[in-house]
Chains A and B, each alone.
Chain A
Amino acid sequence: MESKHVHEQIAAMRQSFFNEEVLNKNFSQLEQLEGKDNPNFVEEVFTMYLRDSIAFLETIEEAMKTIPIDSIKVDSILHQLKGSSASVGANKVLKEVNKTRQVLGKGNLERTKASILELRKEYDSFKAKLEPYFQLKQANSMAQEK
């Protein structure tokens, strides 16, 4: 691939994320932290984030199955997820997390479950978008190195 072409592609992808508000400005901050000495910083962060978030989500889903539901625990995990999502700029995921916490706080079990499903969907979607992006970036930089 021509690097220019790939570049453009990557840029377009990135821009679309912002347009769709999948990512927010915090993501840009992370990008700024990237430098020559750690060019893959953002990717590393995201890898970590995706890995941890899925673990969180799975724990939540498990917790939701128990009776009675340990809402404190669930909220605690959501709180953590909130922090990390906010830090990486995962905008939509963050919004879902907040929504879920709110509903959970109100005590409506059904709504909470539904909200968690939404959250999971958002997460999956997020992952599906970002991973190819990073892969492309990675491929591109490798190609450029050649």
Chain B
Amino acid sequence: MNSSSGKSYMSTASSSVIWKAGGDVVADQFPAGLRVLVVDDDPTCLMILEKMLKACQYNVTKCNRAETALSMLRENRNGFDIVISDVHMPDMDGFKLLEHIGLEMDLPVIMMSADDGKNVVMKGVTHGACDYLIKPVRIEALKNIWQHVVRKRKNEWKDFEQSGSVEEGDRQPKQSEDADYSSSANEGNWKSSKRRKDDEDENDERDDTSTLKKPRVVWSVELHQQFVAAVNQLGIEKAVPKKILELMNVPGLTRENVASHLQKYRLYLRRLSGVSQHPSNLNNSFMNPQDATFGPLDLQALAATGQLPAQSLATLQAAGLGRSTAKSGIPMPLVDQRNIFSFENPKLRFGEAQQHVNNNKQMNLLHGIPTTMEPKQLSGLHHTAQSMGNMNMPVLSHGSQSSQNNPLLMQMAQPQARGQMLNDSTVGLAPRLLSPMGQPMLSNGMATNVSTRNGVPENIRAPSYNPVSQTSSMLNFPMNHTSELPGNSFPLVSTPGISSLAPKVAFQEDVNSEIKGSVGFMPSYDIFNDLNQHKPQNWELQNVGMMFNTSQHSNSLQGNLDHTQSVLVQQGFSTGQNRNSTVISKAMFSAGDSTGHVNAQNGNQHLNSLFVDNTVRVKSERVADAAPANLYPDHFGQEDLMSALLKQQDVIAPAENNDFDFDGYSIDNIPV
């Protein structure tokens, strides 16, 4: 990594360095000498490509195995400017390689294949490829690949500029960040950065002074873990590059490095939660909070606060989630995930989660304490984040469209808004669920688990349940210890992170409103009863809980992320008594796909489906009861919802069945 202020172009190739300050690329050399790494298992194609690239005057390195390519890149992070890779390779899927590169090295990657089907091209887009070439590749197509290198740098530069470079003293850091986040979150696409790039004029002017070419930072696993830890600590919502940078305290790391990485991370999370517009995909994006033990954050807190009738939540969740998991229907995958979310609880399965949640030391029962994800979680998140980063974008989009979760997801998309809400709401919990991660997760688990976080450990399920989220909002509550919920006011952990999760976060917002209405699910929430006031909030929280990201296993990244991404169930329950503001916990979905609390269980898919289903259900239930006031009535409506859910999920036996530790809340018991 170049610790240099970024002004120096890291690339070693002098020719490629020719970046004019003014932004005009020195024509004399560039793009000649562009260092290209081409990966293709077919020797004939490889030979031809090498020849073509050489004819373009590029500096070519060829490689016939993805693993080799990856290790080459790792050993020499700044040794290449761009990578061209085949999709179809025996040892590693091209998209997986793409994700790795995107997260670890942040190099532009071009995919190529003999396939020109729309789906596969779309996959390239969602995985973060900057271009997609169809074989047979023509030399004309290769002549312009340098544009991707330039574009990327400009974007980074712009990031730097926008977010307030360190040099500039971080002017408008927060706003920009937020804007960036929101935009990325909302748009869920790294493309936004490309759009920013459009302001070339701006960049050009700055090129002179600022480093056009920022030193390429190598995001090693450790560094990424630190990053994820910082993000989790700050909370998705509050995770702005500047603060992350401070937390990470890595010498030589610039704010812009962090900013661009954060963007990727969000994309990744998003992607994990809902990359493929299919509901199932959503699951993937959910980060399995396995590693990301967001810990007790939200759920615990929620539980502690006793806001949410854990049981009811659990029940609901179970119901909703139940599908996914064998257990009483509670999409317990989360439970397993325990690791993922510190909460483990919330997202995790209800029954199980609860226990875990409770037991989870990690869970930071945020009784009002912003739960920071435990390092474990963070690391988990890291991974997921990475992958998610890239993917995040898709998630968002998916979220909105995908499965039912959409409602949730959409909500998630507005992490920021939610964040705010959450912040407000999360009185104590302040679950900062891995914000970064949270996003992806939320979308998935939105419904489900979020709520749990707030102290309803039981509902931890959230993470993976998106569908559930809807209903789960309640569910997510780590209901596990209903008893634990002291303060009723579950601060729906509106982990700031959630906002970043955008895709998921968006969910929150919607969820909040919805939760209110739909929150009714929490029929059995003791908390609910106790907290009349909280109710509205609780609901919110619940919604938040939904944000669990059912880590999507499927995603290739998932594999990596599994640990890290653990559900960022950020239940931003704002137990705040009057937190109407969406508590929607920022169920940080741990991107960790694998860990997928939720996903893990079901194998990801389940959760997703669960979530999806849940959300669907929830939605119907909610019926626009956005108004908190409605909540109450609604939550009685919860019963309906619950029943609806229950119906849907055979598994979800009335709260009792599950492993929930609920105090025997059963849907039937919904205290109205």
Asked whether, in the complex, the Cβ of B48 is within 8 Å of the Cβ of A83, the reply is no
Of B41, B115, B135, which contacts A87 at CB under 8 A? Answer: B135
* Alpha-carbon distance A123/B41, docked complex (angstroms): 21
Of A33, A38, A41, A82, which contacts B114 at CB under 8 A? Answer: A82
- Judged by a CB distance under 8 angstroms, whether A111 is at the interface is no
- Judged by a CB distance under 8 angstroms, whether A62 is at the interface is no
* Alpha-carbon distance A6/B665, docked complex (angstroms): 92
* Alpha-carbon distance A79/B42, docked complex (angstroms): 11
Asked whether, in the complex, the Cβ of A26 is within 8 Å of the Cβ of B47, the reply is no
- Judged by a CB distance under 8 angstroms, whether B163 is at the interface is no
- Judged by a CB distance under 8 angstroms, whether B43 is at the interface is yes
Within 8 A of A (CB), among B80-124: 86, 88, 113-115
Asked whether, in the complex, the Cβ of B44 is within 8 Å of the Cβ of A48, the reply is yes
Asked whether, in the complex, the Cβ of B55 is within 8 Å of the Cβ of A33, the reply is yes
Tell whether A87 pairs with B44 under 8 Å between CB atoms, given A29-B138, A76-B88. Answer: yes
- On chain B, the residues within 8 Å of A89 by CB distance are 136
Tell whether A87 pairs with B88 under 8 Å between CB atoms, given A29-B139, A79-B115. Answer: no
- Judged by a CB distance under 8 angstroms, whether A124 is at the interface is no
- Judged by a CB distance under 8 angstroms, whether A131 is at the interface is no
- Judged by a CB distance under 8 angstroms, whether B51 is at the interface is yes
Of B43, B55, B86, which contacts A48 at CB under 8 A? Answer: B43
Tell whether A84 pairs with B45 under 8 Å between CB atoms, given A79-B88, A79-B115. Answer: yes
- Judged by a CB distance under 8 angstroms, whether A86 is at the interface is yes
Closest to B137 in A: A87
Asked whether, in the complex, the Cβ of A44 is within 8 Å of the Cβ of B47, the reply is yes
Asked whether, in the complex, the Cβ of B51 is within 8 Å of the Cβ of A87, the reply is no
- On chain B, the residues within 8 Å of A82 by CB distance are 114, 135
Nearest CB of chain B from residue A105's CB, rounded to whole Å:
12
- On chain B, the residues within 8 Å of A11 by CB distance are none
- Judged by a CB distance under 8 angstroms, whether A45 is at the interface is yes
Asked whether, in the complex, the Cβ of B51 is within 8 Å of the Cβ of A83, the reply is no
Asked whether, in the complex, the Cβ of B47 is within 8 Å of the Cβ of A48, the reply is yes
Nearest CB of chain A from residue B110's CB, rounded to whole Å:
15
- Judged by a CB distance under 8 angstroms, whether B332 is at the interface is no
Closest to B88 in A: A79
- Judged by a CB distance under 8 angstroms, whether A116 is at the interface is no
* Alpha-carbon distance A44/B52, docked complex (angstroms): 14
- Judged by a CB distance under 8 angstroms, whether A13 is at the interface is no
Nearest CB of chain A from residue B618's CB, rounded to whole Å:
38
* Alpha-carbon distance A45/B44, docked complex (angstroms): 6
* Alpha-carbon distance A45/B49, docked complex (angstroms): 11
Of B41, B44, B113, B139, which contacts A49 at CB under 8 A? Answer: B44
Asked whether, in the complex, the Cβ of B45 is within 8 Å of the Cβ of A87, the reply is yes
- On chain B, the residues within 8 Å of A74 by CB distance are none
Per-residue A-contact encoding for B27-50, CB less than 8 Å = 1, 0 else: 000000000000001111101100
Nearest CB of chain B from residue A114's CB, rounded to whole Å:
23
Within 8 A of A (CB), among B117-146: 135-139
Interface residues of A (CB under 8 A from B): 26, 29-30, 32-33, 38, 41, 44-45, 48-49, 52, 76, 79-80, 82-84, 86-89
Residue pairs across A and B with Cβ atoms less than 8 A apart, 13 shown, are A26-B136, A29-B136, A32-B139, A79-B88, A80-B41, A80-B42, A83-B114, A84-B42, A84-B45, A86-B114, A86-B136, A87-B45, A87-B48
Task: List the 9 shortest-distance A-B pairs measured between CB atoms, nearest first.
Answer: A83-B114, A86-B136, A87-B136, A84-B44, A82-B114, A49-B44, A83-B135, A33-B51, A26-B136
Interface residues of B (CB under 8 A from A): 41-45, 47-48, 51-52, 55, 86, 88, 113-115, 135-139
Given A33-B52, A80-B114, A87-B48, 8 other A-B residues pairs in contact with their CB atoms under 8 A: A26-B138, A32-B139, A33-B139, A83-B42, A83-B113, A86-B135, A88-B48, A88-B136
